[in-house]
Amino acid sequence: MDETETILGIDLGTTFSLVAYADEEGPHIIRDETGEGRLPSVIGVVPSPEGGKPRVTIGWTARNHAVENPRATVYSIKRLIGKGMDDIRQELPFLAYAVTAGPRDTVRVEIEEDRYTPEEISSVILRALRERAERHLGRAVRKAVITVPAYFDDAQRQATRDAGQAAGLEVVRIINEPTAAALAYGIGVREALEQGAAPAPARTERGHVSLPQPTCPQGPSDKPANASAAAQTVAVYDLGGGTFDVSILRIERDVFQVLSTAGDTHLGGDDFDREIIKLVQREVQEQFGLSIDSPTTRQALRGFAEAVKIRLSEQEQANLELDLGDNRSYHRTITRNEFEALIDELVERTLVLCRHALRDAGLSPEDVEQIVLVGGSTRIPLVRRRVEAAFGRPPYTALNPDEVVAIGAAMQASVLSGAAADMLLLDVTPLSLGIETMGGAVGKLIVRNTTIPCRATEMFTTFVDGQTAIKIKVLQGERELAADCRALGEFELRGIPAMPAGLPKVEVEFLIDANGILNVAAREQRSGKQAGIQVVPNHGLTRDEVARITRESIEFAREDIDAHRRIDLVNQVEFDTHKAEQMLAKVGDQLKRAQRERIERDIAALRKLAAETQDLDELHRALDAFGKSTLHLAELGISAALKDT
């Protein structure tokens, strides 16, 4: 591979970030001088003792000094990127640093007198990873594949891309974290197929990752030895520090097809830590009457809670001790059972999303041949037990859950660089996309779980005579009415020649690129006038919005379909009766008086029915009958139009 074409694979995580690359020997995690591949996603701003420019610390240094520098140590920035202030209200009580509102409800992190965007802070972490890679490779690297949670929307993906560019990287592709993990897992599938080798334990050397062969722990099978390796249905359960995703994939040799995805961008290990923090704060308040909620104690409690959580993955209990001052101290032994009770509801939320993803893929748990665990939070015993119970088989744990996403990103990078051209990645878009149509309905162009990159077009027209502009409002969601979906952006197509309603032909195109970024264009075919936007909303979906979108799309399915149908029928009634009136004015004198009066009565009756009836089938029949009764009038109108030309 040409050295100038090295493309990095970067896992920009909530808690830790990693960088990797792939060459002819396979994927390599790039480690620091101690052999550690992880870089804490933490930055600190330390005042200069001479009063000069503040010094920025990154990674372990910033993390280790968080308690003594609480207001200027920023962590979990991934949970804020691409979000608005209203989206992160639930985060604020747990953040030691100050967060304020920027323009258009965007988020700013305030340190001393300076304000930083989440993209700027993320770019510092990405720059540190880039520099680590350059030191290891001995040359400059300027391209990267960066992973994001599958449920990141356009704003969050674009914000991640902006952070990469600010770090001096050309972001050649953004891919979903579960899909990246499946790529890493799929390398083992391919090796097992080609070599027919027995399963081997995971082995990690400094700077290089040797991928194990995947196994099917459910026991003997009647299939040939290589059959399951040749084609497998895989669930990737990705529970990281701040986000959760599940993706259902079909892996067949070198083709990785995502069948469905579900997730929550506000659910992860941070939330498990917070359950411990809330327990400690409550008990300190009860025992000592103290409220421990200063920036310093928030940083300290966060560190203590994370340490307790990690210990409880290996031990049945963990001790916690806090010095409260004035000869007061808080002692607590937390058992694994207590911790599991605290987080049980959170774990159940991940399993609900797993069931949604299976339903969208048209599969049952029995159809899944392998469950791959990704993210450090999957080390928690309760998580592994609940996942095994939900899918009816032990999860596959041979891959390092901290490193597997970076490995997959590096493999995708090698494909894009031309070093490994024999893999095909087929991802999906998580929510439906469309535009608002006349009457407040939604015209969906791309439905959720459509494979990306993808393109969809649909023809629309005007509703008012002489209309010279059309407003295109882009929507995201599963409901049938615009008021129940999220507006992503809007633009106007101007300069349409003034024509009777229904004659302009406006083609609307939705294009989602391989990064999941949406572009919308509209073109009036007769005049050639066109307009478009890249949809970049100010902030992303909250957890509650994602849950509501999915839940209400099912709960209100029948009502939504009926409401959409009513809008379409009423619009058609208005259009047809208006056209009939126009033709009566133009050629009505060619009709017998009785015919004309009957059509006029039919127009009034149809409009009255549209305004009053709740029986949509009755309205549909009446509209159909009106079309037949005005057929002769339409023929006269067409003949008159042909004579005019």
With cut-offs at 50, 70 and 90, classify the pLDDT of residue 489. Answer: confident
- The pLDDT of residue 478: 79
Q: How confident is the model at residue 405 (pLDDT cuts 50, 70, 90)?
A: very high
pLDDT at 95 over 50: yes
pLDDT of 43 reads 94
- Vertex 130, ends 128 and 131: CA angle to 5°? 65
Mean pLDDT confidence for 427-452:
82
Is 539's pLDDT higher than 70? no
Q: Judge whether residue 354 has pLDDT over 90.
A: yes
Of 345-349, 365-369, 509-513, 637-641, the one with minimum mean pLDDT is 637-641
pLDDT reported for residue 153: 76
Q: Is the pLDDT of residue 481 over 70?
A: yes
Active-site annotation holds for 36: no
Q: What is the pLDDT of residue 297?
A: 86
Residue 552 is predicted with a pLDDT of: 57
**Mean pLDDT highest for which of 139-148, 222-231, 464-473?**
139-148
The answer for residues whose C-beta is within 8 angstroms of residue 162's C-beta and 6 or more apart is: 119
Query: Which pLDDT does position 490 carry in this prediction?
Result: 80
Catalytic residue among 78, 83, 143, 529: 78
| Mean pLDDT rounded to a whole number for the chain | 82
pLDDT of residue 365: 95
Asked if 43 and 73 count as a contact pair (C-beta separation under 8 A), the reply is yes
C-alpha to C-alpha distance for 542 and 612, rounded to whole angstroms: 39
Between 325 and 395, the more confident residue is: 395
Name the band, by pLDDT with cuts 50, 70 and 90, for residue 44.
very high
Specify whether the CB–CB gap between 167 and 130 falls below 8 A. yes
The per-residue pLDDT for 231 is 79
Alpha-carbon dihedral sign for residues 53, 59, 65, 71: positive
pLDDT in tens, 77-90: 999 998 888 888 88
Choice among 119, 177, 484, 524 that is catalytic: 177
Cβ(75)–Cβ(44) below 8 Å: no
pLDDT for the residue numbered 309: 95
Lowest mean pLDDT among 62-66, 110-114, 137-141: 110-114
Tell me what percent of the residues of the chain surpass a pLDDT of 90.
Answer: 34
| 546: pLDDT strictly greater than 80 | no
Token pair, residue 121, equals 């802070």
Q: Which residue has the higher pLDDT, 126 or 499?
A: 126
Question: Which residue is it, tokens 């959580």?
Answer: 309
Give the pLDDT band (50/70/90) at residue 557.
Answer: low
pLDDT tens by residue, 187-221: 554 454 344 433 333 333 334 443 433 333 333 33
Q: For the segment 320-341, what is each residue's pLDDT rounded down to a tens digit?
A: 888 888 888 899 999 999 999 9
Q: What is the pLDDT of residue 454?
A: 84
* Per-residue confidence band for 420, with pLDDT thresholds at 50, 70 and 90: low
What integer pLDDT is reported at residue 1 of this predicted model? Answer: 40
What pLDDT score does 201 carry?
A: 31
Query: Does 23 participate in catalysis according to the annotation?
Result: no
What's the average model confidence in pLDDT over 529-551? 55
| Structural domains in the chain plus CATH codes | 3-175 (3.30.420.40), 269-341 (3.90.640.10), 431-540 (2.60.34.10), 558-644 (1.20.1270.10)
pLDDT over 50 (residue 538): no
Report pLDDT for 334.
95
Beta strand 469-476 pairing with 486-494: antiparallel
pLDDT in tens, 121-177: 999 999 999 999 999 999 999 999 999 988 887 778 888 988 998 888 999 999 999
For residue 280, what pLDDT band results from cuts at 50, 70 and 90?
A: very high
| Active-site residue, selected from the candidate residues 119, 120, 238, 245 | 238
Known catalytic membership, residue 568: no
In whole angstroms, give the CA distance from residue 148 to residue 163: 12
Q: What is the 3-state secondary structure (H, E, C) of 86-127?
A: HHHCCCHHHCCCEEEECHHHEEEEEECCEEECHHHHHHHHHH
What is the pTM for the complete model shown? 0.68
User: For residues 91 and 309, what is the distance between their CA atoms, to the nearest angstrom?
Assistant: 20
> Does residue 256 surpass a pLDDT of 80?
yes
CB 204 within 8 A of CB 415: no
- Residue 415, SS3 per DSSP: helix
What's phi and psi for 219, nearest 5 deg? 115, -170
More confident residue, 502 or 225: 502
Q: In whole angstroms, how far apart are CA 67 and each of 97, 241, 270, 276?
A: 11, 20, 17, 18
Mean pLDDT value of segment 236-263: 88
Q: Please check whether residue 174 is in contact with residue 161, taking contact to mean a CB–CB distance below 8 angstroms.
A: yes
Catalytic pick among 11, 153, 369, 524? 11
Residue 466 has pLDDT above 60, yes or no: yes
pLDDT above 50 (res 443): yes
Predicted confidence band of residue 271 (pLDDT cuts 50, 70, 90):
very high
- Model confidence at 558, pLDDT cuts 50, 70, 90, reads low
Does the pLDDT value for residue 384 go beyond 90?
Answer: yes
Is residue 177 annotated as a catalytic residue, yes or no?
yes
